[in-house]
Structure 1
Amino acid sequence: MSKTKKPEFRPNEYIVYPAHGVGQILSIEKQEIAGLELELFVISFEKDKMTLRVPTNKATEIGMRQLSSPDVITKAMTTLKGKAKVKKAMWSRRAQEYEQKINSGDLIAIAEVVRDLHRNEDQREQSYSERQLYEAALERLTREVAAVSGGVEDDAQREIATLLESRQAA
Structure 2
Amino acid sequence: MRNSEKTFKVGDRAVYPAQGVGVIEAIESREFAGIESEFYVLRIVDTDMTIMVPVGNVEQVGLRRLISKRQVARVYQVLENKPENGVGAIASWSRRQREYNEKIKSGDPLEVAEVLRELYLIKEDKELSYGEKKVLELARKLLISEIALAEGKDEEKVAQRVENMLLN
Q: Is the structural similarity TM-score above 0.5?
A: yes
Q: Name the CA shift for 1:89/1:7 in 2 (closer, same or farther; >3 Å).
A: farther
Aligned residues: 162
Q: Deviations over 1:43-69 (max 9, x none)?
A: 001322210011101112221111112
Deviates more, 1:47-56 or 1:76-85: 76-85
Q: What residue number does 1:39 align with?
A: 38
* Moved >2 Å (runs of 4+): 119-124
Corresponding position: 1:59 with 2:58: yes
Change (3 A) 1:120 1:55: closer
- 1:109 corresponding residue in structure 2: 111
TM-score (norm: length of structure 2): 0.88
Contact 1:14–1:147 (CA under 8 A) maintained in structure 2? no
C-alpha spacing 1:150/1:129, structure 2 compared with 1 (3 Å): same
Give the AA of the match of 1:124. K
Contact 2:104 2:139 in 1 (8 A): yes
Name structure 2 gaps, 5 residues minimum.
Answer: none
Partner of 1:86: 87
Following TM superposition, by how much is the alpha carbon of 1:19 offset from its aligned partner in structure 2, in angstroms? 3.1
TM-score relative to the length of structure 1:
0.87
- Find the counterpart in structure 1 of residue 67 from structure 2: 68
Separation in structure 1 between the aligned mates of residue 67 and residue 103 of structure 2, nearest angstrom = 16
Rounded to whole Å, the distance in 1 between the matches of 2:138 and 2:123 is 20
Q: Secondary structure at the match of 1:74?
A: helix
**Which residue does 2:17 correspond to in 1?**
18
C-alpha change, 1:157 and 1:7, in structure 2 (3 Å) is farther
Structure 2 residue identity aligned to 1:79: V
SS at match of 2:59: coil
Q: Contact conserved, 2:117 with 2:166, CA < 8 A, in 1?
A: yes
Structure whose residues are more often helix by fraction: 2
2:6/2:55 contact within 8 Å kept = no
Q: CA RMSD in A?
A: 2.0
Q: How many Å separate the matches in 2 of 1:164 and 1:7?
A: 38
Kept after mapping to 1: 8 A contact 2:15/2:64 = yes
Among the aligned pairs, what percent are the same residue?
Answer: 35
**Distance across 2 between alignment mates of 1:8 and 1:150:** 22
> Contact 2:21 / 2:46 at 8 angstroms: preserved in 1?
no
Greater CA deviation, 12-21 or 51-60?
A: 12-21
CA deviation digits over 1:9-35, x for unaligned, max 9? 111111111131211111111122222
- Displacement, 1:36? 1.6
Shift of 1:123: 4.1
C-alpha distance in 2 between matches for 1:112 and 1:7: 31
Of 137, 148, 151, the residue aligned with 2:150 is 148
